[in-house]
Amino acid sequence: MSLKLFQETFGEAPAVSGWTPGRVNLIGEHIDYNGGAVLPMALPLGVDMALTPIEDDLAQIVSAQFEGVAVRQLSETASHQWSDYILGALAQVSPAQGWHAAIDSSIPFGSGLSSSAAVSVGALRLAREALHLPKLSAKEIALTAQSIENNFIGVPCGVMDQMAVSALAPGEAMLLDTQTLAFEQIAIPEDWCFVVHHSGVHRELSDGRYAERRATCFAAAEKLGVNLLCQAPISALEIENNLTDIERQRAAHAITEHARVIAAKAALDQRNLSGFGKLMIESHASMRDDFDITTPAIDQLVDVSVECGAIGARMTGGGFGGCIVSLVDAGHKESWRKRFEERAAGAKFIC
C-alpha cells in the first residue's frame, strides 16, 4: 500500500491518498483518435497513491514496483523513466510546487491495462486536492491527463483510457463517443465474465509504432475527404481513390471496428453472449490482419482461449504485446481457466 510506503520513505503520513482503477478495453481498439465509439471496462486492479506538497522545487517519488527514490526537477522533460507520468501530472498542477509521492500499482507494467492513465488521473486529482484547488469533472481530468500523455510523454493517444479510469468504478463498462465525449455507463450481465491474461510480451507505446499508425489513419482520412476515419462508410474503400495499400488496411480496421463496437453495445443490451463473443473474435482478426498490432504469441493465446471454450477473445490495449481479454460464461470460468492455463503456460492470470 502507498500509505505504508510513504511513511517508511518520508517519515510522516501523507496529506492525501487515493486509488484509481485500470481498465480493459472490451472492444474498439485504435479508434478513439479516429472518432469511433469504444467500450472499455474498469478493473479491480489499480494504482494506489499518496502525496504531500513540500517547500521545494523537486518531486521525490517512490514506487513499490521500482527500486530507489526518483528525484526529479518539476521543469524536467520526460526521459523514459517510470516516474515520468506522475512527474508530468504534478508539474501540470503546479510547475513550481515540490512533492513527496508514493505509488503502488497492482496493474502489470506494459500490460495494456492503462497503468499510465491511472497514474496521471490519480496524480492530477490528488495534487489538486492537496493544494485545495477546485474539483474538476471526470471529463476535465481525463482531457488534462490525455494532454500530459500527448505533450509531455510524447504518445499521441486518444482519450478513452483517461475517460474510463476517471469516470468508472470497477466492473462498470462505458460506451464512449470519442468525438463528443458523451458516454453511457453500462452494467455487465452477471453471467458474463471477462478474464484478463498477460501474454508475457511487454509493450512500450512511445517507441513510435503507435504514432506511425495514427499518422497513417489521419492520412487515409484526408484522402477519403473526412475529418476522422470512423466518419467514412465502408463503401468508401471500394471506390477508386489514391489510398496506399497500408492506408486502405488501416482504414478498413478503423471503420469496421467502430461498427463492431455499436453492434457489441446492442449485444450487451440484448444479453447476447455469443454475439458479443463473435465480435471480439472479429476485432482481433482485424487488429492482426489490417492494423498489424498483434504478435504471434498473442494470436496463439487468443486461439487457445477460444479452443478451450471462451465465447470470444481478443488482444486488448494499444498492441505489440500486453494482454488478451476472454469472454466466458461465469458459471464455467474456473473450468475454462484451468484448461486454458494448462495449454498456455506462458500466460499470467491478471483478473
Is residue 101 within 8 Å of residue 120, measured between CB atoms? no
- Rounded CA-CA distance 232/146 in Å is 25
What nine digits make up the cell of 331?
458459471
Residue 297 falls inside a structural domain: yes
Is residue 141 within 8 Å of residue 162, measured between CB atoms? yes
Domain end residue (candidates: 111, 138, 157): 157
Residue 182 falls inside a structural domain: no
Residue 162 falls inside a structural domain: no
Q: Are residues 98 and 206 in the same domain?
A: no
Cα dihedral 301, 170, 165, 59 sign: negative
Residue 96 falls inside a structural domain: yes
pLDDT given at position 149 = 93
Domain end residue (candidates: 103, 131, 157): 157
Query: What is the average pLDDT across 90-118?
Result: 91
CATH number at residue 61: 3.30.230.10
Q: Are residues 241 and 98 in the same domain?
A: no
Domain end residue (candidates: 157, 182, 211): 157
Reported residue count of the chain is 351
In this predicted structure, the answer to whether residue 250 has a pLDDT above a threshold of 70 is yes
- Rounded CA-CA distance 194/312 in Å is 9
Q: Are residues 119 and 200 in the same domain?
A: no
- Rounded CA-CA distance 321/137 in Å is 32
pLDDT given at position 169 = 94
pLDDT given at position 155 = 86
- Rounded CA-CA distance 314/200 in Å is 15
Residue 38 falls inside a structural domain: no
In this predicted structure, the answer to whether residue 151 has a pLDDT above a threshold of 70 is yes
Residue 301 falls inside a structural domain: yes
Is residue 43 within 8 Å of residue 196, measured between CB atoms? yes
Q: Is 53 helix (H, G, I), strand (E, B) or coil?
A: strand
Q: Are residues 257 and 343 in the same domain?
A: yes
Query: The whole model's pTM is what?
Result: 0.91
pLDDT tens across 70-96, in order?
A: 999 999 999 999 999 999 999 999 999
Is residue 258 within 8 Å of residue 230, measured between CB atoms? yes
Among candidate residues 158, 153, 161, 85, the one with its CA nearest the CA of residue 124: 85
Domain span including residue 123: 2-24+43-157
In this predicted structure, the answer to whether residue 206 has a pLDDT above a threshold of 70 is no
In this predicted structure, the answer to whether residue 268 has a pLDDT above a threshold of 60 is yes
Catalytic residue positions, numbered: 161
pLDDT tens across 124-143, in order?
A: 999 999 999 999 999 999 99
- Rounded CA-CA distance 157/203 in Å is 15
- Rounded CA-CA distance 260/269 in Å is 14
Q: What share of the chain is helix, strand, coil (3-state, %, to 5)?
A: 45, 25, 35
pLDDT given at position 207 = 62
In this predicted structure, the answer to whether residue 265 has a pLDDT above a threshold of 90 is yes
CB neighbour list of residue 122: distance below 8 Å, 6 or more residues apart: 18, 19, 20, 47, 49
Residue 176 falls inside a structural domain: no
Query: In terms of pLDDT, which residue wins out, 210 or 312?
Result: 312
pLDDT tens across 284-321, in order?
A: 999 999 999 999 999 999 999 999 999 999 999 888 88
- Rounded CA-CA distance 35/181 in Å is 10
**Helix spans in 52-114 (H):** 84-93
When mean pLDDT is compared across 14-28, 83-97, 111-125, the lowest value belongs to: 111-125
Q: Are residues 269 and 340 in the same domain?
A: yes
Q: What is the DSSP string of 256-280?
A: HHHHHHHHHHHHHHTT-HHHHHHHH
pLDDT-derived band at 204 (thresholds 50, 70, 90) equals low
pLDDT given at position 351 = 94
In this predicted structure, the answer to whether residue 238 has a pLDDT above a threshold of 90 is no
Among candidate residues 250, 282, 301, the one with its CA nearest the CA of residue 112: 301
Residue 179 falls inside a structural domain: no
Q: Are residues 153 and 247 in the same domain?
A: no
Q: What is the domain count for the chain?
A: 2
In this predicted structure, the answer to whether residue 205 has a pLDDT above a threshold of 60 is no
When mean pLDDT is compared across 192-201, 239-248, 308-317, the lowest value belongs to: 239-248
Q: Are residues 199 and 137 in the same domain?
A: no
Q: Are residues 144 and 229 in the same domain?
A: no
What nine digits make up the cell of 273?
453472449
Q: Are residues 325 and 255 in the same domain?
A: yes
pLDDT, the chain, mean: 94
Q: Are residues 17 and 122 in the same domain?
A: yes
Q: Are residues 196 and 336 in the same domain?
A: yes
When mean pLDDT is compared across 105-114, 223-232, 284-293, the lowest value belongs to: 105-114
pLDDT-derived band at 202 (thresholds 50, 70, 90) equals confident
% of the chain surpassing 70 pLDDT: 98
CATH number at residue 233: 3.30.70.890
pLDDT given at position 174 = 96
Q: Are residues 99 and 12 in the same domain?
A: yes
Neighbouring CB atoms inside 10 A of 297's CB total 15
